[in-house]
């Protein structure tokens, strides 16, 4: 086998073809959409965002969509809309981006972190039910890196205990769970639409629900301009029907302004038209890549079970799962170093870390009550120490980023396949 570049051999990838990875794809139509917002001076308006919301609701097959300035604000609103408040608990996987969990703290609640399944990197359904306590309000599921959670096992648990399911579908725009779009399965869902995501339109987020009360509560929390109120400008634009919300019209009850920038919504409308076709191309490329690597021992793709009609959507953040059980600690780091030398810079250990051991969830005192935020308004301490959620804590020893191909160009993808064979074929030499 060819000598590894790390040891002086020729790198497998001499120069990366940026066309293969560029994202999002920007055309003149996107540019014109942005310019028209600028020329019409409608950057802070809502009319384009409302059209975009309609487009997105139709695309996902849900009744309501609400456009946010980012995904984090959407998650905060979804949590509040589901009734999460001071002293309440939310069950959430520990290994995810912090925004799936941290807004619970903003509301005075506590996060009861569950472990992940090391194959799917999603919340382990086995680790949910025993965490439910008298103040548990919701389960936050994260379709991590586009891979749908095992909703058939999670939905009955939520139903049995009267809990809301919030789907963080920030990685899963276009992913299907057994044929159903991720983001349309729980009580409410949120997608980050920031530029790194597979549906990428700038700083933006979208909340989806079929529940009118959740929709109105999310509006009441951070969209004062849609609550009527006294100003002439907004009077006609009243989305609220529930008297308990109408009485607060004019001021967002959450004290925030959450609306989407219209340059983002204008781009979103254009991007949506091509989105399904573009992610089909990604799926073809990623499937080709992984299908050519099945023979590598100890390496598995992080991907959905297509035999049951589940898909990876836009394959946001594709990952490989390395069977580290037979190797010494640090082996994945070495493998990633070898990939760097081969010119495959994307191969680094999983970029998200276990959250439950982070000081923000252990000791920070947000409300200055003299106690850590997590126990500010409760007697039940759900904090967990090191060693409590092993699969989340070990993620960087078994999950690592792999190339995210946006174009199906087999002869170029083959070069990466060869690089993978080369590195994985020489782990013993690396050690
Ligand atoms: C899983 C997950 N949830 C939420 C967010 C937050 O979205 P935003 O960055 O748009 O606030 C992100 C963003 O990276 C994410 O990866």
Query: Helix 47-60 vs helix 262-291: angle between axes, to the nearest 10 degrees?
Result: 30
Distance 193 CA to ligand 1 centre (A): 8
* The dihedral sign for the CA sequence 77, 79, 84, 89: negative
User: What is the three-class DSSP state of 305?
Assistant: coil
The model's pLDDT over 105-146, given as tens digits with 9 standing for 90+, comes to: 999 999 999 999 999 999 999 999 999 999 999 999 999 999
Looking at the DSSP bridge assignments, the partners of residue 66 are: 207
Q: Collect contacts of 51-60 with beta carbons under 8 A, ≥24 apart.
A: 51/265, 51/269, 52/260, 52/265, 52/266, 52/268, 52/269, 52/272, 53/206, 55/268, 55/269, 55/272, 56/206, 56/208, 56/268, 56/272, 57/208, 59/272, 59/275, 60/181, 60/183, 60/184, 60/208
CATH topology of domain 5-24+275-351+394-430: 3.90.1150
DSSP state of 87: T
Neighbours of 2 (CB within 10 A): 12
Q: Which residue has the tokens 């782990």?
A: 427
Residue 230 has pLDDT above 80, yes or no: no
**Structure confidence at residue 357 (pLDDT):** 98
| 16 band by pLDDT with thresholds 50, 70 and 90 | confident
- Separation of CA 317 and ligand 1 centre (Å): 13
Q: How many CA atoms lie within 13 A of 158 on its CB side?
A: 24
Q: Whole-prediction pTM value?
A: 0.98
Neighbours of 122 (CB within 10 A): 23
Ligand 1 atom closest to the CA of 203, numbered from 1: 10
18-22, 184-188, 262-266, 376-380 — which is least confidently predicted?
Answer: 18-22
Residue 2 · residue 9 · CB < 8 Å: yes
Is 176:137 a contact under the CB 8 Å cutoff? no
DSSP 8-state symbol, 116? B
So what's the pLDDT on residue 233?
67
Query: What are the extents of the domains in the chain?
Result: 5-24+275-351+394-430, 28-270
CATH class of 28-270: alpha beta
Q: How many angstroms does the Cα of residue 170 sit away from the middle of ligand 1?
A: 6
Q: What is residue 55's predicted lDDT score, i.e. its pLDDT?
A: 98
Q: Is the CB of 100 under 6 A from ligand 1?
A: yes
Choice from 67, 69, 72 to test ligand 1 binding pocket (greatest atom count within 8 A of CB): 72
Task: State if residue 125 touches ligand 1 by the CB under 6 angstroms criterion.
Answer: no
pLDDT tens digits, residue range 267-319? 999 999 999 999 999 999 999 999 999 999 999 999 999 999 999 999 999 99
Query: Does ligand 1 have an atom closer than 6 angstroms to the CB of 149?
Result: no
Inter-residue contact 217 to 245 (CB < 8 Å) = yes
Cβ atoms of 154 and 114 within 8 Å: the answer is no
Contact 142 CB / ligand 1 (< 6 Å): yes
192 Cβ below 6 A of ligand 1: yes
* Residue 260 reports pLDDT greater than 90: yes
pLDDT band at 249 (very low <50, low <70, confident <90, very high): very high
Residue nearest to atom 8 of ligand 1 (CA): 71
Residue 418, classified by CB atoms within 10 Å of its CB into exposed (0-12), middle (13-18) or buried (19+), is middle
- pLDDT bin (cut points 50, 70, 90) of residue 405 is very high
Mean pLDDT along residues 377-389: 98
Q: Where are the strands (E) in 128-260, listed by range? A: 136-142, 164-168, 176-177, 180-181, 188-192, 205-209
Ligand 1 mean position to 162 CA, how many Å? 27
Beta bridge partners of 401: 319
The residues, ordered by sequence, that sit 6+ positions from 414 with a Cβ below 8 Å of its Cβ are 292
Atom from ligand 1 closest to the CA of residue 144: 1
Please tell me the distance between residue 378's alpha carbon and the centre of ligand 1 in angstroms: 27
**377: pLDDT strictly greater than 70:** yes
- Is residue 251 scored above 80 in pLDDT? yes
Q: What is the mean pLDDT of residues 4-14?
A: 96
Distance of CA 101 from the midpoint of ligand 1 (Å)? 10
Rounded to the nearest integer, the mean pLDDT of the chain is: 96
Burial of 247 (0-12, 13-18, 19+ CB in 10 A): exposed
pLDDT of residue 236: 73
Q: What is the share, in percent, of the chain residues with pLDDT greater than 70? A: 99
DSSP type of residue 259 = B
Give 17 or 20, the one with higher predicted confidence.
Answer: 20
Our mutation pick for probing the ligand 1 site, out of 194, 197, 395, counting the most ligand atoms within 8 A of Cβ, is 194
> In the predicted model, is pLDDT for residue 175 greater than 90?
yes
Ligand 1 binding pocket includes 71 (Cβ within 6 Å): yes
């Amino acid at each position: 086998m060819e000598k590894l570049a790390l040891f002086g051999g020729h790198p497998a990838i001499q120069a990366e073809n940026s066309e293969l990875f560029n994202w999002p794809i920007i055309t003149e139509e996107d540019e014109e959409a942005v310019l028209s917002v600028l020329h019409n001076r409608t950057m802070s308006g809502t009319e384009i965002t409302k059209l975009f919301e309609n487009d997105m609701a139709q695309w996902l097959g849900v009744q309501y969509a609400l456009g946010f300035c980012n995904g984090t604000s959407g998650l905060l609103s979804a949590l509040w809309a589901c009734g999460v408040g001071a002293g309440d608990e939310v069950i959430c996987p520990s290994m995810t981006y912090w925004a799936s969990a941290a807004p619970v703290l903003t509301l005075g609640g506590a996060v009861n972190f569950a472990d992940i399944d090391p194959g799917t990197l999603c919340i382990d359904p086995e680790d949910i039910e025993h965490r439910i306590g008298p103040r548990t309000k919701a389960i936050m599921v994260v379709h991590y890196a586009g891979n749908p959670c095992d909703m058939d096992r999670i939905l009955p648990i939520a139903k049995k205990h009267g809990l809301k399911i919030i789907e963080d579908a920030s990685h899963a725009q276009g992913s299907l769970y057994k044929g159903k779009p991720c983001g349309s399965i729980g009580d409410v869902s949120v997608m980050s639409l920031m530029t790194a995501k597979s549906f990428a339109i700038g700083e933006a987020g979208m909340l989806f629900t079929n529940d009118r009360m959740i929709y109105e509560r999310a509006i009441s929390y951070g969209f004062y301009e849609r609550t009527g109120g006294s100003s002439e400008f907004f009077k006609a634009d009243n989305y609220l029907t529930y008297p308990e919300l109408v009485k607060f019209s004019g001021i967002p009850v959450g004290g925030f302004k959450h609306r989407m920038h219209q340059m983002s919504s204008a781009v979103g409308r254009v991007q949506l038209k091509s989105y399904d076709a573009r992610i089909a191309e990604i799926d073809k490329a990623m499937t080709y890549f992984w299908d050519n690597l099945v023979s590598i021992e100890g390496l598995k793709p992080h991907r959905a079970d297509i035999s049951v009609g589940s898909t990876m959507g836009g394959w946001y953040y594709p990952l490989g799962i390395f069977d580290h059980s037979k190797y010494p600690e640090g082996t994945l780091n070495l493998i990633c170093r070898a990939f760097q030398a081969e010119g495959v810079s994307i191969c680094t250990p999983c970029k998200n870390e276990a959250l439950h051991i982070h000081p923000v969830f252990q000791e920070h005192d947000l409300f200055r009550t003299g106690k850590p935020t997590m126990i500010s308004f409760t007697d039940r301490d759900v904090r967990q120490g090191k060693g409590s959620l092993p699969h989340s804590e070990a993620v960087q020893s078994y999950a690592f980023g792999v190339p995210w191909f946006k174009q199906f160009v087999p002869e170029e993808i083959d070069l990466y396949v060869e690089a993978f064979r080369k590195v994985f074929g020489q782990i013993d030499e690396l050690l």
